[in-house]
Amino acid sequence: MTRVAAIDCGTNSIRLLIADVSDGQLTDVVRTLEVVRLGQGVDRTGRFADDALARTLAATRRYADLCALHGVERLRFVATSATRDASNRDAFLGPVRELLGVEPEVLDGRDEAELSFRGALSVLDTSGSAAATRLVVDLGGGSTELVLGDTSPISAFSMDVGCVRLTERHVTSDPMTPADRDALARDVRSALEEAGRVVDVSEASAVLGVAGTVTTITAHALGLPGYDPVAINGARLPLETVLAACDDLATLPRDARASLPYMHEGRVDVIAAGAAIWAEVLTFVREATAGTDHPLTEVITSEHDILDGVALSIA
């Protein structure tokens, strides 16, 4: 058994998983996140803002302390979309290296997609279902990864579409105006058409959504009294139920979103755009599979994603 730590630093949040790994299985010791909005303004300026760096490095320092407290033997730190885009990324990566004593990695879109796929499938029972072709969708703050595969990835594509990026780019009022949503939808559809030339989503017999935007939409669709990972993980919901939840979250005013019992305070400002993105992705897959013998009729949600994939990769 090996105790490992995985840190995933995205555009909106930084997350830590400390786990014991044995025979390819993870047993959680600590699983936590902080919304630090590292990608604040990066889509517009191409640089990290000083206050975003300060927030993220403070969280990294707290994570370093937790790793020391829990006797972590191996550690991997990965950064994704915002860090890929920031011209001053060294101002972030250098201090991370000093705080953690490991070399931080900036994942390209392909690696991010494959780790998300591995993490999402790590808790699914795939025995007897090697022929099932799944589309894993990791909807993040700065990018969205599409990965098609059975028990391993077949094709993958990373789109520069995420809830933080498109909130900053398109959302001009609260709640979103129809014009805001139309502009956002055009952006997402253009990215999906490009992705579709690499990932043939018509082959997907199941869609598995991961990451905080998708899990929050699932909590909304389930009408949970609070954020419950056990109820969310593995949830299978009718497609129309998920699309209705997306439309609701995309049109609710901020105060109403903030009052939802499962809404993380750091997600309130970006969930409307995230919900609109998820609706566009699901509609795109529904259209692509409509003429097949496996039309999209339900959506699966997983609480396990790139963080689990990184932890497994260490051991």
- Give the pLDDT score at 104: 97
Instruction: Sketch out the chain's domains with CATH numbers.
Output: 2-106 (3.30.420.40), 125-307 (3.30.420.150)
Phi, psi angles (nearest 5°) of residue 108: -80, 170
Using the predicted structure, report yes or no on whether residue 273 has a pLDDT greater than 70: yes
**Distance separating alpha carbons of residues 249 and 244, to the nearest angstrom:** 9
CA–CA separation, 254 vs 270, rounded Å? 10
| Ramachandran category for residue 102: left, alpha or beta (phi over 0 → left; psi -120 to 50 → alpha) | beta
Contact 299, 239 (CB under 8 A): yes
Q: Write the pLDDT tens digit of every residue in 285-296.
A: 999 999 999 999
Mean pLDDT of 277-284: 98
CB atoms within 10 A of CB 67: 21
**Inter-residue contact 164 to 39 (CB < 8 Å):** yes
Least confident span in 40-54, 87-101, 130-144: 130-144
Judged against a pLDDT cut of 70, whether residue 129 lies above it is answered with no
Q: How far apart are CA 213 and CA 165, in angstroms?
A: 13
Give the C-alpha separation, 29 to 6, whole Å.
Answer: 12
Q: What is the mean pLDDT of residues 89-110?
A: 94
The average pLDDT across 49-78 equals 97
Within 10 Å of residue 203's Cβ, how many Cβ atoms? Answer: 17
This prediction's pTM: 0.90
3-state secondary structure the chain: CEEEEEEEECCCEEEEEEEEEECCEEEEEEEEEEECCCCCCHHHHCCCCHHHHHHHHHHHHHHHHHHHHCCCCEEEEEECHHHHHCCCCHHHHHHHHHHHCCCCEECCHHHHHHHHHHHHHCCCCCCCCCCCCEEEEEECCCCEEEEEECCCEEEEEEECCCHHHHHHHHCCCCCCCHHHHHHHHHHHHHHHHHHHCCCCHHHCCEEEEECHHHHHHHHHHHCCCCCCHHHHCCCEEEHHHHHHHHHHHHHCCHHHHHCCCCCCHHHCCCHHHHHHHHHHHHHHHHHHHCCCCCCCCEEEEECCCHHHHHHHHHC
> What does the pLDDT read at residue 127?
47
Are 157 and 195 contacting, i.e. CB atoms less than 8 angstroms apart? Answer: yes
* Cα–Cα distance for residue pair 103/42, rounded to 1 Å: 23
* Token pair for 240: 């129309």
Separation between Cα atoms, residue 144 and residue 132, nearest integer Å: 22
Mean pLDDT (the chain, rounded):
93
For a pLDDT cut of 90, what percent of the chain falls above it? 86
pLDDT, tens digit (0-9, with 9 covering 90-100), for 154-204: 999 999 999 999 999 999 999 999 999 999 999 999 999 999 999 999 999
What confidence tens digit (pLDDT) does each residue in 1-47 have? 899 999 999 999 999 999 999 988 899 999 999 999 999 999 999 99
